[in-house]
Amino acid sequence: MPLTPHVEQHFTAGAVVRDAVIGISDGLTVPFALAAGLSGAVDSTALVVTAGLAEIAAGSIAMGLGGYLAGKSDVEHYANERAREELEIAEKPDVEAAEVMALLQSHGLTAEESAPVVQALRQRPAAWRDFMLRFELGLQQPDPARARTSAFVIGGAYVAGGFIPLLPYMGTASASAALPWSVGVTLLALGVFGFVKGRFTGARPWKSALQTMLIGGLAAAAAFAIARAVS
């Protein structure tokens, strides 16, 4: 009797979503706080927009470069650990075999059940190395293009998020008049972003939306209050 195949659907774009979350979150919050702070000190939308665009450019480059360096670091770390495991397997096979045995037993297997697995891995050094990397060190081989992708995703998401709080300032000459619109538009964007992030991460979407709005709102309020106090 034919059986319906079981197809598991897993979300596999976690790294890209994580980078987009980082970029959009900071892109919405930092220019929003900057625009609110400047609005508390001056009433020139031209100044707010100019400063905001400069911040978006600098912030996207800095964030993108940070993502690139983090991705390169992951690749280098994996390569170093892989070389170390290969050396240990070649020079200290008995010690490594004992580590495999202990690792399997820590997952509930008996010594008798673990022994054939250990013996099979000893016949396959490459598989043994990958087993140790994955289950002893918790490492998976990173995508060599990950650093470049991370840089573009984080930087692009920062730019996309950063323009949202500046849009109201581009359509009026008064910063004080544009500020309420910027607050409304940005808080709405933060709420939508938080809701979507909650859906992806498994958190309660409405709670995530409220938390994201609260963080962005507090940052903007603090910047506005400081600017008012010193201007």
9 lies in some domain: no
DSSP 44: B
Mean pLDDT of 70-80: 89
170 lies in some domain: yes
194 lies in some domain: yes
**DSSP annotation string for 126-165:** HHHHHHIIIIIS---PPPTTHHHHHHHHHHHHHHHHHHHH
> Quick check: helix, strand or coil at residue 9?
coil
pTM: 0.74
Boundaries of domain holding 220: 14-230
For residue 169, give the nearest of 39, 56, 25 by alpha carbon.
Answer: 39
**DSSP annotation string for 11-43:** ---HHHHHHHHHHHHHHHHHHHHHHHHHHTT--
6 lies in some domain: no
- Count up the domains in the chain and report the number: 1
**Taking the C-alpha atoms of 187, 192, 196 and 201 in order, what is their torsion angle to the nearest 10 degrees?**
20
44 lies in some domain: yes
| pLDDT at residue 166, rounded to an integer | 92
For residue 144, give the nearest of 64, 61, 63, 79 by alpha carbon.
Answer: 79
Mean per-residue pLDDT over the chain, rounded: 83
78 lies in some domain: yes
Q: Which tops the pLDDT comparison, 146 or 202?
A: 146
Percent of the chain with pLDDT over 70: 91
4 lies in some domain: no
pLDDT tens string 147-201: 899 999 999 999 998 999 999 999 888 888 888 898 888 888 888 888 887 777 6
158 lies in some domain: yes
